[in-house]
Chain A
Amino acid sequence: MIPVSQGQMKRLTTVHGWSGVVLGLLLFTVVITGTVAVFAHEIARWSAGSSSNRALDRPIDGIVRGLAETMPRFYLEDTNIWRTDAGDLMVFFHAHATNPETGEPDEYGTMFRVDPDSGAVLARDEGFMWHEQQAWEPSALRKFLVDLHVQLYMPDPWGLIVTGLLGLLMMAAAISGFLMHRHLIRDLFVAERPGARLVSARDRHVLASSWSLPFAIILAFTGSFFSFAFSVSFPIVAQVAFGGDQEAMAKTLFEAPVAEDARPVRAADLDAIRAAAIDEAGGPLTFIGIHNYGRADARVHVWHAAADGRLGFTQTVFDGADGRFLGIKPQVGNVPSIGNDLNALMWPLHVGDFAGLFSKAIWGALGATTCFVILSGLRMWVRRREAERLWRGFGRAVTVTAYGLPIGMVGSAHAFFLSLPAGDPIFWTPLGFVGGALASIALGLRAGDDGRLAQLLWRILSFGFLLLPLLRLAVGGTSWADAIAGGHGEVVSIDLLLLLAGGVMWWARNSSGSYRTAAAEPAE
């Protein structure tokens, strides 16, 4: 494609190979958890059990107004309203204060969990609520999987920095691979050649990476963008332009300017605003934010999921005092801009959340393809060097990681369901992952042969898949009949997918034993 000299090719090969070897397994961790995290909402509804899909489609004005009347004025600075994946209505009245534990500005207030049908308050908590996950997160499993993807379960901001660097690494590998491959178009249809030769391993890697190249770059770039935005970019912008005041920066970038008017007025009807918002934006409501509820300068921001044919979410703004529609607000700034348009593209391009399950399934498949590219590349590297003991050990690490991570994730799901009756899944879910991963590592250390190890881990994984739906039902999860009656297709779908995956893997278990340990061949 692009002519490169022999020396350049050598350097590109070095960059491509060593970057993959040094951080490839960590990158695989981020990508495979991201592939699962694409279906975060579906996993949450499947694991937590959903009672209703329509918490924000029902009248909420009476509920919010009644709760607001019990709140001190201080807590009405900001009000967040959303629906959990379990179907409950959440209302969080809060103000901003410095969190003594972190020393950072934080949101302090009262959070209500409400039954959207009856309006009954199911729970009331007070404090710096974003640190109290059990109050608002119905699925510890979803939370764990997303956290693992976003920051590898590392402390802030190091996790974000590491995942951001891994995104850059993935881009470097994709671009260097593109430059190295001189016959990209000519090899676009060459399937893995038979014979389990080195060239077969190369075919496998090159074919998958050639087809997934555009989205590998897109996913890597958008992932890095999100990681560095919160850990590096915003703090730098706040430091440079706002003297370190991140709250002032957030107001400037994300809130519409409004002249202060603290006169108390009757708040606008939220149900009328909901209806008008849907008319204006088209997409379903996902979140409502009210600034200065019950004051003359109140503003209501309504977030909508992507409407039919659109990529990004939309934000409509209303006057909180008289309910007037004020306009559709750009995500960044207050006037349309190229920067805002590019920023709006980042989220849908990263998670594929713009056409429901259709686009999510495509993004999940893209993630799986990227996993295949990483593993096939690592295996090819090992294959070329398996005469050396060190690289055979690395090959064992690749096998353990390739199977151990999915086993760990399945283990976390098992731990989540097993700990549900005890009521502490937030503690046990990560431990389930650690247990599954450690068991895989232990088997990897004990096994004498890579082929047998792969077969054993394969069977454990398939058994784990098969057992999950049964365990979910055994601990009182939503039954299929209730799920179908309530319109929660994800419950039945995920159960069936797990049974199918486990069954097919169990049936095809011998295929994993075809791991090749032939002698190294010269590069072709």
Chain B
Amino acid sequence: MSVLASTAAIAVTLAGIGRLAATDPKRRRSFGMQPFRGNRQVVLALTAVFMPGVLLLAIGSGADFIAWLGAICVAGWAVAAVSPWRVASAWRWMAAVAAAPHRLLVSAVAGVRRLAAAVLPRSARAGIPGRDPVGAADDGTVARIAELERRVAQLEAALAAPSVASYAFGTEGERRVTRLPAFQRSDLQDAKVLRTGDR
């Protein structure tokens, strides 16, 4: 009962001390911070500071009270000695730590996939869902190549047709330019590279 009661009392008191420290006007002014906006709730914080000691005296024992008194003298100093900048830095760190599990999960999944790609034989990799038989990365490249090949074929067909020339070069030096539908220069370059690579 004693250690547990004292520990609980110390925790409540420290919460009160923390609140008073975080909203203390002189502390904030000393560190160039804006004055605390809102209700400091000083009475509530002071109650949290002193009430545990009163309760320990009333329903606990003298030993509990002395242990509480000694602990808050040390822990109160420890709380107040930490500068507001360090407190803010600690909050940021804790937020980062809280976000860490999600990042860790994402990294772990990516890591497992990279590991599988590196370790498993090519034949086994073919069985991994979403992976093409030649082992290309599953990031939409297959669909993109198919689309490019379709467009290249469309382009070749258009170039082969006689009417196309009249689009590109008009008679008697008159230049008429007409864009092929949805044609982009980069697509053409990609297609050339791919076809060169094929040969």
What is A's interface to B at a CB cutoff of 8 Å?
A: 186-194, 204, 207-208, 211-212, 214-215, 306, 308-311, 348-349, 352, 354-356, 358-359, 362-363, 365-366, 369
Contact of A190 among B26, B61, B74, B76 (CB under 8 A): B26
**A to B CB contacts below 8 Å, 7 in the list:** A190-B80, A191-B82, A204-B81, A309-B60, A309-B63, A362-B71, A369-B74
Which residues of A are found within 8 Å of B30, using beta-carbon distances?
A: 190-191, 193
Pairwise interchain contact A214-B73, C-beta atoms closer than 8 A = yes
Question: Which of B27, B67, B74 has the most chain A CB atoms inside 10 A of its CB?
Answer: B74
Once bound together, how far apart are the Cα atoms of A365 and B72, in whole Å? 11
Which residues of B are found within 8 Å of A186, using beta-carbon distances?
A: 26
Smallest CB–CB gap between B89 and chain A, Å?
13
Pairwise interchain contact B63-A369, C-beta atoms closer than 8 A = no
Q: Tell me if B180 is interfacial: C-beta within 8 Å of chain A.
A: no
Which residues of A are found within 8 Å of B111, using beta-carbon distances?
A: none
Give per-residue flags for B143-173: 1 if the beta carbon is below 8 A from chain A beta carbons, else 0.
0000000000000000000000000000000
Pairwise interchain contact A189-B20, C-beta atoms closer than 8 A = yes
Smallest CB–CB gap between A309 and chain B, Å?
4
Binds A, one of B1-9, B112-120, B125-133, B190-198: B1-9
> Binding site of B, secondary structure by majority: helix, strand, loop or mixed?
helix
Smallest CB–CB gap between B93 and chain A, Å?
17
The 4 closest A-B pairs by CB, nearest first: A309-B61, A211-B77, A189-B24, A365-B74
Measured CB to CB, the nearest residue on chain A to B77 is A211
Once bound together, how far apart are the Cα atoms of A154 and B74, in whole Å? 32
Pairwise interchain contact A309-B80, C-beta atoms closer than 8 A = no
Q: Tell me if B135 is interfacial: C-beta within 8 Å of chain A.
A: no
Pairwise interchain contact B83-A194, C-beta atoms closer than 8 A = yes
Once bound together, how far apart are the Cα atoms of A349 and B66, in whole Å? 8
Smallest CB–CB gap between A66 and chain B, Å?
39
Once bound together, how far apart are the Cα atoms of A35 and B64, in whole Å? 21
Smallest CB–CB gap between A11 and chain B, Å?
28
Pairwise interchain contact B63-A310, C-beta atoms closer than 8 A = yes
Once bound together, how far apart are the Cα atoms of A204 and B83, in whole Å? 11
Interface size on B (CB < 8 Å)?
32
Given contacts A189-B21, A191-B81, A211 and B76 within 8 Å (CB-CB): yes
Given contacts A354-B63, A358-B67, A309 and B77 within 8 Å (CB-CB): no
Smallest CB–CB gap between B35 and chain A, Å?
14
Measured CB to CB, the nearest residue on chain A to B60 is A309
Which residues of A are found within 8 Å of B61, using beta-carbon distances?
A: 309-310
Pairwise interchain contact A359-B67, C-beta atoms closer than 8 A = yes
Once bound together, how far apart are the Cα atoms of A365 and B71, in whole Å? 8
Pairwise interchain contact A311-B83, C-beta atoms closer than 8 A = no
Which residues of A are found within 8 Å of B77, using beta-carbon distances?
A: 207-208, 211-212, 369
Q: Tell me if B69 is interfacial: C-beta within 8 Å of chain A.
A: yes
Which residues of B are found within 8 Å of A306, using beta-carbon distances?
A: 63
Once bound together, how far apart are the Cα atoms of A1 and B64, in whole Å? 29
Contact of A207 among B69, B80, B85 (CB under 8 A): B80
Once bound together, how far apart are the Cα atoms of A363 and B73, in whole Å? 10
Contact of A354 among B66, B76, B83 (CB under 8 A): B66
Once bound together, how far apart are the Cα atoms of A42 and B81, in whole Å? 30
Pairwise interchain contact B81-A192, C-beta atoms closer than 8 A = yes
Pairwise interchain contact A208-B83, C-beta atoms closer than 8 A = no
Given contacts A187-B26, A193-B31, A355 and B63 within 8 Å (CB-CB): yes
Once bound together, how far apart are the Cα atoms of A188 and B20, in whole Å? 10
Which residues of A are found within 8 Å of B83, using beta-carbon distances?
A: 191-192, 194
Pairwise interchain contact B27-A189, C-beta atoms closer than 8 A = yes
Pairwise interchain contact A309-B81, C-beta atoms closer than 8 A = no
Smallest CB–CB gap between A400 and chain B, Å?
25
Give per-residue flags for B80-118: 1 if the beta carbon is below 8 A from chain A beta carbons, else 0.
111111000000000000000000000000000000000
Given contacts A191-B84, A194-B83, A355-B6, A363 and B26 within 8 Å (CB-CB): no
Measured CB to CB, the nearest residue on chain A to B71 is A362
Contact of A215 among B31, B60, B70 (CB under 8 A): B70
Which residues of A are found within 8 Å of B84, using beta-carbon distances?
A: 191
Which residues of B are found within 8 Å of A311, using beta-carbon distances?
A: 62-63, 66
Smallest CB–CB gap between B55 and chain A, Å?
14
Smallest CB–CB gap between B141 and chain A, Å?
47
Which residues of B are found within 8 Å of A208, using beta-carbon distances?
A: 77, 81
